Amino acid sequence: MRKYIFLILMISASLQMFAKEEVTLRASAPEVVVNGDQFRLTYTVNSQDVKDFLAPQAKGFDVLMGPSRSQQSSTQIINGKVSSSRSITYTYILMAVSEGTFNIPSASIEVDGEKIFSNPLTIKVLPKDKEDANSNQGNSGISSRNQKSSGRITDNDLFVLATASKTKVHEQEAILVTYKAYTTVDLRQLLGKMPDQQGFYVQEVELPTQKTFKLEHYKGRNYNTVVYRQYVLFPQKAGRLEIPAVTFDAVVAQRVAVSDDPFEAFFNGGGYVEVNKKIVAPKVVINVEPLPSKPEGYSGGVGTFTMKSDISTTELKANEAVTIKLTISGTGNMKLVSAPEVKFPHDFEIYDPKIDDNYQLTADGLSGTKTIEYLAIPRHAGNFTIPPIEFKYFDIKSETYKTLNTDAYTLKVNKGDGSSANQQVIADFTNKESVKVLGTDILFIKTGDSALMQKGKYFFGTAAYYLWYIIPFVLFIVFVVIYRKQAVENANVARVKTKKANKVATKRMKLAGKLLSENKVNEFYDEVLKALWGYISDKLNIPVSKLSRDNIEAELAGHGVSEELIKEFIGALSECEFARYAPGNQNEAMDKVYSASVDVISKMENSIKTLKH
């Protein structure tokens, strides 16, 4: 019996191993190259039973080598499942000889008598750098653009551009703002974030964590570029609005002279040193036009929308629930759109609508659906009409207001039987404990024993009667005094920020502690730096953008803080900034940074409080 089972398993494994899969021929090459650069063009077919490979002519490129043929085979057994793969790769080395965009047609190969074609390719060839063109050094390749030797990194070697998809818009019209880094150096890290905006509702576009650089020709030079941040902004008012300049902190790996001693070269980072550089992305000006005079019932929507509705039933009994489901689809300021009004008959009991948002952020705004469910309960039998539902919005394409309408609904309400079968439906819309039932709202004359009071005993004129007037008046006077004192204190913004500095820093350090336990290295160091810089900014009433180590030392010394504590605070900043790049045990470094930061903030708070007293 065991022999038969083993034989069946072997046959099954063999069939899976040699089962034929769809044969494909895949072409791959860089999307962008520089004139004079050499690059690889490969064709890979997932079969080895092939013949008559025929490559197309590549106009705009010289073939330096190829085709060279290589074969690959592999077999895997995972959880008893056998899989195998076999492929052949044809490789060409090409050189771009002219600028422009070139198409490479499909290659072909014959497999089991059938001709298979590859995907076509489109390659963009950029002009050489001006300095390279002048010196006839055209074969530097992409790698040379990342190898700047030690020296000053200029604003032409590394910068960030801020661009807006539109600079003239209407109120609530979506704008995509992109911060793209251009570099000819080895950019390792870039930190920066758009500050809080005045006059805009802002949402950040989620970008891949792993950044991918692409070649781009800009003002006579070829740069490696990457989109670092993207935001979608909705202007909330008309006029000339500014998106302020944003400062980024860059970390660049710069090549230095390498010693002949291999041990010294190893401990010096293989001939590279990390250099910090501040980059300022320029401000962007947006001209916002006001919306035309808003019609009555305007929803606040700006964009392009459609609407449909559905009703749960058109025939029901009195005291049973009916729901109308309204779905608004489209692209625009979906989050700021208000729910349309449904005009139910007067004797219907109406509940607050339930709203379900399902949209995603795009370059044109929020795209998706807003689903609104309205619930009502008829209390009387009869025939009722629910008029069409109107949704008014401002259409971006036509720059006019448009009105969407649903169909009217006719309800036939039969006499109810007093059952409560719809309680679960109502519970989804409200937390009311029960539904009112008509017929019990008229109370009978009270019967039975009544409490009697002795003649001549009245509350009027007693001491308690006058206290009911005096006590509230005294409390009112005390409240006014306390409120005015609090208002005066709150008017001093700098003092309020100073008082709350420790609370804000403590909150940030708690979040940093959570990131530490989750081993999120970059997020941890960012939060600790925000806590340190933010704390000292609030305490000294100096914006973070104007802070530096030099003026921190001067300001703290002016507030009477000891020199030893000032050095400890500056040391905590430096240790946090450099710990993330230091070799060794990262967890131990994070623990040390966390403890040092908490300790120095506590000491600084106690020191400044003592000096004030």
Structural contact between residues 127 and 217, judged by C-beta atoms closer than 8 angstroms: yes
- Rounded to whole angstroms, what are the CA distances from 216 to 94, 136, 482? 20, 20, 63
Res. 140 pLDDT band, cuts 50 70 90: very low
- pLDDT score of 322: 92
Evaluate the omega torsion of the peptide bond into residue 67 and state whether it is cis, within 30 degrees of 0.
yes
Name the least confident of 118-122, 153-157, 236-240, 587-591: 587-591
Determine the average pLDDT of the residues in 265-286: 78
With bands split at pLDDT 50, 70 and 90, how would you rate the model's confidence at 219?
confident
Q: Indicate if the alpha-carbon torsion angle 262, 266, 267, 271 is positive or negative.
A: positive
Q: For residue 198, which of 312, 321, 288 has the smallest C-alpha distance?
A: 288
Question: DSSP readout, 171-238?
Answer: TT--EEEEEEEEESSEEEEEE--PPPPSSEEEEEPP--SS---EEEEETTEEEEEEEEEEEEEEE-S-
Sheet holding 168-170, edge to edge: 168-170, 284-289, 239-243
Q: How confident is the model at residue 457 (pLDDT cuts 50, 70, 90)?
A: low
Give the pLDDT score at 331. 92
Cα separation, 490 vs 500, whole angstroms: 12
pLDDT in tens, 323-343: 999 999 999 988 889 999 999
pLDDT confidence bin for 137, thresholds 50/70/90? very low
Q: Are 226 and 181 in contact (CB under 8 A)?
A: yes
- Tokens 């109120």 sit on residue: 171
Q: Are 180 and 158 in contact (CB under 8 A)?
A: no
pLDDT at 307: 93
For residue 85, give the nearest of 71, 95, 96 by alpha carbon.
Answer: 71
| pLDDT for 257 | 59
How many whole angstroms separate alpha carbon 438 and alpha carbon 541? 63
pLDDT at 436 over 70: no
Which pLDDT does position 432 carry in this prediction?
A: 42
pLDDT score of 430 more than 60: no
Per residue in 73-131, pLDDT (tens digit) is 777 677 667 667 788 898 999 898 888 889 999 888 888 878 888 899 999 998 888 76
Q: What is this structure's pTM?
A: 0.56
Average pLDDT along the chain: 79
Candidate from 6-20, 310-324, 378-392 with smallest mean pLDDT: 6-20
pLDDT of residue 490: 57
C-alpha to C-alpha distance for 330 and 524, rounded to whole angstroms: 38
